[in-house]
Structure 1
Amino acid sequence: MTKLSKKQREKLLEAGRLLREAEKPVRVLRTVGWPPEVAAKFFTDGAKELPRHDYVPVDDSPVQEKLAAARKLIDGDSPAHLWLTRAAQSLETGARMLSAVGTKAFHDHSASLYKTPAAPMLDGESRPLDLALQLDETLEAFRPTDGQPLGTPEPSEVMGADELAARMRPVIERFFGEEAPEVTVVDSLSANALAGPRAIRLRRGAAFTPHDLQQLIQHEAFIHVATSLNGKAQEDLPLLAGGHPGTTRTQEGLAVFSEMITGAMDPARLRRLADRVIAIQMSIEGADFLELYQFFRERGNGEGQAFESARRVVRGGLVTGGAPFTKDVVYLEGLLQVHNFLRATVQFGRLDCLHLLFAGKLDVQDLPALIMLAENGLCRFPRFLPPWVVDSGFLISYLAYSSFLNRVNLTKVRQHYHDMLAHIPKLDIPVRESDPFVHVTVASTNGMDLD
């Protein structure tokens, strides 16, 4: 055990408090958001003119002052000191990014925080762009012949934000009890849905499907809201209540993994994540908003969804190309990061790390610090855990099996089955009526009836 002296504890806790204060003004999505009238004018003009939005840069000097004060207190090299040092660097870059909103420098800071599609991942070889292109190629093979996007729901299944909110509320209230956040519908939002400790907000005018219901509960509620509330309960470590940019990769990766492990992920959603990465690379290479909009239209998106997807890429940067917001790279890279980390925790028998992963808004790399701080009585184990962690039998079984896959030469295996199937005809599958059991998920079998 790494025993902290009273003086070390006091300095670390004060540094963490200052970092939390520095984090509060760094509101990335709020700063780069577009009001609804931007989309309205775009379509009024026939979807032929570049949209325009004038950003209000954030004065980052108050943030930098608090960071300077915090850094004076971070005078060691323990895991806890390294955690706070990383957080300070992330907040410094994030604040500088928001002070440069609407310029090329915004993109440069964004790439530093979230990386780019072509940046190597942990293995030093594979890239988020490689994964996105492979997913895109694989899922294209399953596109229906009528040209509709994979997983397109029947018109009768599509619901508005108000109906979705009504279906979400009872699930949220049962899971969180007295601490359940409100589920509200708002006119303007930087995404179709955003979650915080007090509210899950849905964008009025967005269309949702039953799959969206499952995904939002797993992604927004059981991950983003849960980690926010768990972080809020960390009285000694308030930084865990704030999601600074350095935690985004793990938090979004964990949320996407939650969709995967519960069966809430569908091909349309996965391809949408891949297309965002491809579009970011297109923008880096010079594609403007209109080219991105056309790219998403060609992917089968309706006009409104294509606009929103293109907006996600250029928000905060330049609509003329060359300087996108790279945050959406983290969904696929974060999924790989979390998946590989969870495989390691099972292989090494470290369920303590699995549980502490939900202690607040954190990055996987922060866990050594949290273990150290928990040993010193400063970090609490989380109260709210997603059902797939509480009842972790399937998770452990799946990860124990999947950890062996790295030892298998998948290239040879794939070639064997390619040769086996290459010269036999492909049959049409008979059309079947919907099976009422098709929408059962891991979450619903764990006592959470999501329908």
Structure 2
Amino acid sequence: MNDHIVLDEYQLTIRSLSDRLVEAQAPIRVLDAVKWDENIRQDFFKHKGKQPPAVDRAYYEGRPLAFDPEAKKQEFQNIERDITRRLGQFNPVGQIMRRMCKEYRMVIRMLQARGTSDFGLISQELYGAASDAFHAGDPTLADLGLMLSDYLNNIAARGDLEDEPKSLTAKEAVAMLQSRLSAVFGDDTIRVLESDGIVADAAAGADYIKVRADALFNTRDVRALEVHEGLVHVGTTLNGLNQPICTFLSKGPPSSTVTQEGLAILMEVIAFASYPTRLRKLTNRTRAIHMAEEGADFMEVYRFYREQGYGLEESYGSASRVFRGSTPSGLPFTKDLSYLKGFILIYNYIQLAVRKGKLEQIPLLFCGKTTLEDMRTLRQLVDEGLVIPPIYLPPQFRDLNALSAWMCFSNFLNHLSLDRIEADYANIL
């Protein structure tokens, strides 16, 4: 932490408001509040997967939030009011912090609505819906999911791009990951540890990565975790924690989830750490959310995963990701759209930054838990000395030569008609 920096009165005002925001959001744990307990899973399999999980409004009422929602909303309201009083209506830092206050109030409203139809509607406001277009006349996220599925099926049909077997234990994966991240961040910066309390194969915290104790991995998985969880998620958290004034950059509201997950997927792609099976997982999540938005229930989404060739456990896990916080026949929790949606938005942003010669904007994506719509303001804040540039940057973003060259070509290639080319290449491919 940079607490030894001497701040002037204006900077101290921002810092104190920022700290209040960070403190206020601490007990809000969205994924903890929406997850389904182990006994729900056991009960589902006890009925041989023939009955939907026993989750309704009462289920969530029996799992109260870790804070008083009304008092917490009032706290954010008070912080928002004080931001306006002390910084004015149009102060750029104030505008970011006020938006965060509003967003956290919406998050609390969503969590209060667990098990009701409002839960899914507020989730769409926060994370988006699969039927959202990127801009007028463009394909939607649901279209993208289907299109990618077609490509991935063509690849899978070949049968020679099989995944290497998952023969690494969690212990071995932890050791590999630890040594690779120590090489990037220095020895004591990030801890990698085994955990049996997580749903996903791995999860990133402020300065640690948890790996699920009973999961198996291959070297490709470890590489993806190194890039996704380590270089991006932990990297941006550490950069946020290093902010001497805008401490709110260490915490991510839902709007930053889209940006952060998009960055993580983009990093996997440009570091050649992604692979078809992993991409298929993301496209299936998008397709499953879209199905639920269109009225499919838990059992239909569960069967969709079974038809995609996933085992019983994995199909249950994937389907429950879609309906957590909701009910088995309710609207979906749309957070998992963040990956593909964020990827497209970040990719477009970097492409435009290269086209306009604003390369210095690109690394600022890493200066904390940033949100795409704040990037122009952040540039201003760095120039004013209110935000410090990122300390930890993946190599691909530290030297922008290769990325810029790729984006220059990519800008041009976007103007070519692939359908026309396909017709022309028909006799050579």
TM-score past 0.5 threshold: yes
- Say if 2:163 is the partner of 1:115: no
How far apart, in 2, do the equivalents of 1:78 and 1:406 lie? 38
1:20-35 to structure 2, matched below 5 A, reads: 20-35=22-37
Q: What's the offset of the Cα at 1:162?
A: 2.2
> Structure 1 CA distance, aligned partners of 2:229 and 2:44?
30
User: 1:8 deviation in Å?
Assistant: 5.9
1:133 is matched with 146
- Deviation of 1:280 after TM superposition, in Å, equals 0.7
Of 316, 325, 341, the residue aligned with 1:316 is 325
| Distance (Å, rounded) in 2 between the aligned partners of 1:144 and 1:303 | 22
- Give the aligned residue type for 2:411: S
Return the letter of the residue paired with 1:201: K
State the Cα deviation string for residues 165-193 of structure 1 (Å, max 9, x = none): 12111112222224422212222213221
Q: CA deviation at 1:152?
A: 4.3
Secondary structure of 1:185's aligned partner:
strand
Aligned to 2:176: 167
Counterpart in 2 of 1:366?
374
Residues of 1 paired with 2:316 and 2:170: CA distance?
Answer: 18
In 2, the alpha carbon distance for the partners of 1:392 and 1:87 equals 30
Counterpart pick for 2:49 among 47, 50, 56: 47
- Deviation of 1:400 after TM superposition, in Å, equals 1.6
The aligned residue for residue 3 of structure 2 is none
Quick check: 1:408 aligned with 2:416? yes
Q: Which has the higher helix share?
A: 2
C-alpha separation between the residues in 2 aligned to 1:382 and 1:179?
A: 19
Shift of 1:11: 4.8
- Give distance in 2, aligned partners of 1:160 and 1:296: 25
Other-structure match for 1:257: 266
Find the residue that maps to 1:51 and give its secondary structure.
Answer: coil
Shift of 1:309: 1.0
Name the counterpart of 2:72: 63
Amino acid at match of 2:163: P
Amino acid at match of 2:174: A
Alpha-carbon separation, structure 2, partners of 1:174 and 1:123: 45
Q: Secondary structure at the match of 1:76?
A: coil
1:381 is matched with: 389
- 1:8-407 to structure 2, matched below 5 A, reads 9=11, 11-53=13-55, 54-55=59-60, 56-58=63-65, 59-72=68-81, 73-74=83-84, 75-123=88-136, 125-144=138-157, 152-155=162-165, 157-319=166-328, 321-407=329-415
Equivalent pairs counted in the alignment come to 411
Deviations 1:82-132 (A, max 9, x none): 322322222111111112222222111101001110012245632111110
| In 2: Cα distance, 1:101 partner to 1:181 partner | 34
Q: What code does the residue aligned with 1:153 have?
A: D
2:17 maps to a residue whose letter is: A
Name the amino acid aligned to 2:141: P
Task: Kindly provide the amino acid, as one letter, of the partner of residue 225 in structure 1.
Answer: V
Q: What is the distance in 1 between the residues matched to 2:162 and 2:132?
A: 32
Q: TM-score, normalised by structure 2?
A: 0.89
Whole-Å separation in 1 of the counterparts to 2:372 and 2:125: 18
| CA deviation after TM superposition for structure 1 residue 10, in Å | 5.3
125-134 or 38-47, which moves further after superposition? 38-47
Unpaired runs of 5+ in structure 2?
Answer: 1-7
Q: Which amino acid aligns with 2:427?
A: M
Partner-residue secondary structure (3-state), 1:184: strand
Between 1:218-227 and 1:323-332, the stretch displaced more is 323-332
Post-superposition shift, 1:258?
0.5
Q: For 1:400 and 1:10, locate their aligned partners in 2 and report how far apart those are by CA, in whole Å.
A: 42
- Higher mean C-alpha deviation, range 48-57 or range 345-354: 48-57
TM-score (norm 1): 0.85
Q: In the superposition, relative to structure 1, how do residues 11 and 120 fare at CA in structure 2: closer, same or farther (>3 Å)?
A: farther
Q: How far 1:293 sits from its partner (Å)?
A: 1.4
**Secondary structure in 2 matching 1:407:** coil
Q: Structure 1 residues 36, 166: CA separation in 2 closer, same or farther (over 3 Å shift)?
A: farther
Shift of 1:264: 0.7
Residues 296 and 151 from structure 1, CA distance in 2 versus in 1: closer, same or farther, beyond 3 angstroms?
A: farther
| Inter-partner Cα distance in structure 2 for 1:350 and 1:286 | 44
- Deviation for aligned residue 1:20: 1.8
Rounded Cα–Cα distance in structure 2 between residues aligned with 1:390 and 1:373: 20
Residue 307 of structure 1, CA deviation: 1.6
Using the aligned pairs only, state the percent identity: 33
Counterpart residue number, 2:427: 420
1:439 corresponds to which residue? none
Whether the 8 Å contact between 1:21 and 1:66 is mirrored in structure 2 is no
CA deviations on 1:249-268 (whole Å, 9 max, x unpaired) are: 00000000010001111111
Counterpart code for 2:195: V
**326-335 or 159-168: which moved more?**
159-168
Which piece of structure 1 moves more, 39-48 or 280-289? 39-48
Q: Contact conserved, 1:343 with 1:403, CA < 8 A, in 2?
A: yes
Counterpart Cα distance in 1 of 2:394 and 2:237: 13
